[in-house]
Amino acid sequence: MQILMSDDAYSRIAGDLPTDLDILTLGPEGEVRRGGTVITDSDPEVFWISGDLWLAGRLPGMFRQILGGRSGKWAQTFNAGLDSPIFNSLMAKGVRLTKSSAQGPAIAEYVIAHAFSLLHPIAEAKAAQAAHDWRRINFREIGSTRWLMVGFGAIGSEIAARLKPFGAHLTVVRRDITPDPLIDAVRPIGDLVALAAEADVVVLACALTDQTRGIAGAEFFAALKPGALFINIGRGGLVDEAALGAGLDRNQPAMAVLDVFETEPLPADAWFWDHPQVVATAHCSAASDGVEPRGDRLFLENLRRYRAGEPLLNEAQPSEVGL
């Protein structure tokens, strides 16, 4: 069985791979190597699309190998969301695709850290310190807040797990309204606007699809509870950015934490950069030290399952890529 991965990924997991596999690595110019020697007759069955390929700008070379091959049957990707058209092409070719859940803990910590830092009056306390102003600053406990989250996949469930011990009320909006111990209430997507009026914190943690594109639009922000906190770690296309800007002017929301945008990289003249009510980060909510090793472990476990004919973890359905 031939498996193609990046040379960096191979250097990390070489000692954990079965010895009977034919391991091929993708070089910096898209060349395929076996044991350091360039080969021209490769036809891998399995592909590990690891995050280091994206960081190095080498994803196109990997996708060319998958789409141009004859024997490809399964690809593990570092991506949690599959809105890129390339995944439609892979699955249309008959390649099974498994998503990553490795980002979940990191993105959950990003959400909780930013939310708590804005809910608690840290900035106000710092300003009082700078002014040498000895005064009492009251605050609201996290346990008395109400959270509304759109989506409850690998990332949403990690957010919920970290929020639960603080006692906040969490309502999740999703297609599947089956109850979950981490959730206080589950409602269908059609209730989103009505629920916005009750939420102190709104988190978008869903995939970008035809159904969710622009889900946070003018109607949503007009209904949002004044003073609420809005966090988007899903995709930029979930939000009507002009409607968000108008909402910020009305204090609906009071603050927005945005890690994803319609246009990325964010243009230098984008209004988000200098807006006093926006925290903007460069799509790096998963840039933690734990994502890569978790991703490697997930690939190795799915490789074991694949060879044993067992169900794969996080396998994508055709509907997730528009098929």
Selected catalytic residue, list 58, 235, 292, 320: 235
Residue 189 lies in a domain: yes
CATH assignment of the domain containing 156: 3.40.50.720
Whether 217 and 316 share a structural domain: no
Whether 36 and 151 share a structural domain: no
Catalytic residue status for 283: yes
Whether 7 and 49 share a structural domain: yes
Whether 134 and 190 share a structural domain: yes
Task: Please list the pLDDT of the chain residue by residue as tens digits (323 residues).
Answer: 999 999 999 999 999 999 999 999 999 889 999 999 999 999 999 999 999 999 999 999 999 999 999 999 999 999 999 999 999 999 999 999 999 999 999 999 999 999 999 999 999 999 999 999 999 999 999 999 999 999 999 999 999 999 999 999 999 999 999 999 999 999 999 999 999 999 999 999 999 999 999 999 999 999 999 999 999 999 999 999 999 999 999 999 999 999 999 999 999 999 999 999 999 999 999 999 999 999 999 999 999 999 999 999 999 999 999 88
Selected catalytic residue, list 124, 141, 264, 310: 264
Whether 199 and 239 share a structural domain: yes
Residue 41 lies in a domain: yes
Residue 285 lies in a domain: no
Whether 150 and 253 share a structural domain: yes
Catalytic residue status for 141: no
Residue 36 lies in a domain: yes
Whether 77 and 196 share a structural domain: no
Peptide bond connecting 265 to the previous residue in cis, omega within 30 degrees of 0: yes
Catalytic residue status for 235: yes
Selected catalytic residue, list 283, 294, 301, 305: 283
Query: 3-state class of 248 per DSSP?
Result: helix
Write b or e for each residue in 228-259: b if 16 or more Cβ atoms lie within 10 A of its Cβ, otherwise e: bbbbbbbbbbbbbbebbbebbeeebbbbbbbb
Q: Domain span at residue 138?
A: 104-280
Whether 125 and 268 share a structural domain: yes
Whether 64 and 129 share a structural domain: no
pTM: 0.94
Whether 239 and 183 share a structural domain: yes
Residue 248 lies in a domain: yes
